[in-house]
Structure 1
Amino acid sequence: MEKIKTSSQSWTIQENVVQPDIINVNSDAHGGNLTYIADTVAGICFARHNEQGGVTAAVDNFNYIRSIPMGNLFTAQACITGTGKRSAEVFVMITGEDLVKQEKYLAATAFYTYVSTSPQGQEVPQIKADSDLAERLMAGYPERRQARLQARHAQKEFEAFLNQYLT
């Protein structure tokens, strides 16, 4: 029997304050640090949904929308937006918040693909939307999945080309 979970069952949220150890030369959160945090939150979300471990297979469309200055709060949120037999797509949204001005803003978004590392070959549970946001995000999954499959094919051809230059 196929296991189905709702989007809220794996929703993951992590809050942080931009501290000096994660800033760039402009005193904003460094993009690499945001990517690391996004991958961590996406991994937790996938493990929560899958009830087992998994690994990052791809990161698609990491969009840096607005910088997050030092001292601002930022929140990374992740939810499952589509599933295959052994994989799932995880959407990550990072928002910033100026606590002094009481202003929230969208800072970054990304789609991750995680693959299950279950040695038993257990399938990833299917996903069902239980909010308007999840429903909207899930609606685009088939097109994103198709685009990823086409990109993966092109990547394999490119890898074959690059392999001839390895020393």
Structure 2
Amino acid sequence: MKDGKVASKSRTVLTDIVLPPDTNFHGTIFGGNVMAYVDKVASISAMRHARAMVVTASSDSLDFISPIKTGEAICVEGFVSSTRKTSMEVFVQVEAEDLVTGERRLTATSYLTFVALDQNGKPTPVPAVIPETEEEKWHYNTAEERFEQRRKRRQLRAEREMGNK
């Protein structure tokens, strides 16, 4: 495994304005658009950490907390929260910003897993992540539990597939 890197080196922020074509008939951003932003920011964070190409291996969940309305900014921020040999967990949070008042509110959170690839498309080792802030340390310290949940989910899926054959 390569030497460690501080989590802040992978931090990625994307801000965009939500316009009418981005919204549904409620005047709020399409969930699929939010998902695309989350995956894009998480991919950049993972590539910054690994300095390699990456692929999305899983998305634990995308929890929508509140809608983002037409005319508000969508602010998407992510960073690598933990690593294994060739994979990285990336935490992403989404906020809405009222561009007139400056008020921000949390609208969604997600954890995604990426695998780093070498020039032949094979998994390649990634540096360990070094958390510095309290937020980074919390995500880092709770990552093993999420990893175990993912492992159990994969195992159950494999068992179901074997039962269907």
TM-score scaled by structure 2?
A: 0.93
Counterpart residue number, 2:53: 53
Distance (Å, rounded) in 1 between the aligned partners of 2:123 and 2:72:
43
Alignment size in residue pairs: 163
Change in 2 beyond 3 A, CA 1:122/1:103 = same
Distance (Å, rounded) in 1 between the aligned partners of 2:97 and 2:37:
16
**CA apart distance, 1:66:** 0.5
- Does residue 132 (structure 1) correspond to residue 134 (structure 2)? The answer is yes
Q: Which runs of 5+ in 2 are unaligned?
A: none
Change in 2 beyond 3 A, CA 1:131/1:67 = same
Amino acid across the alignment from 1:147:
Q
Change in 2 beyond 3 A, CA 1:121/1:107 = closer
What aligned pairs does 1:35-114 form with structure 2 within 5 A after superposition?
35-114=35-114
Distance (Å, rounded) in 2 between the aligned partners of 1:10 and 1:81:
9
2:47 counterpart SS class: helix
1:75 counterpart SS class: strand
TM-score scaled by structure 1?
A: 0.92
How much is the aligned-residue C-alpha RMSD, in angstroms?
A: 1.5
Residues 56-78 of structure 1: CA distance to partner in whole angstroms, max 9, x if unpaired? 01001210000000000111001
Distance (Å, rounded) in 2 between the aligned partners of 1:160 and 1:26:
43
Distance (Å, rounded) in 2 between the aligned partners of 1:57 and 1:108:
20
Q: Percent identity?
A: 30
Distance (Å, rounded) in 2 between the aligned partners of 1:105 and 1:97:
7
Amino acid across the alignment from 2:161:
E
Q: Which runs of 5+ in 1 are unaligned?
A: none
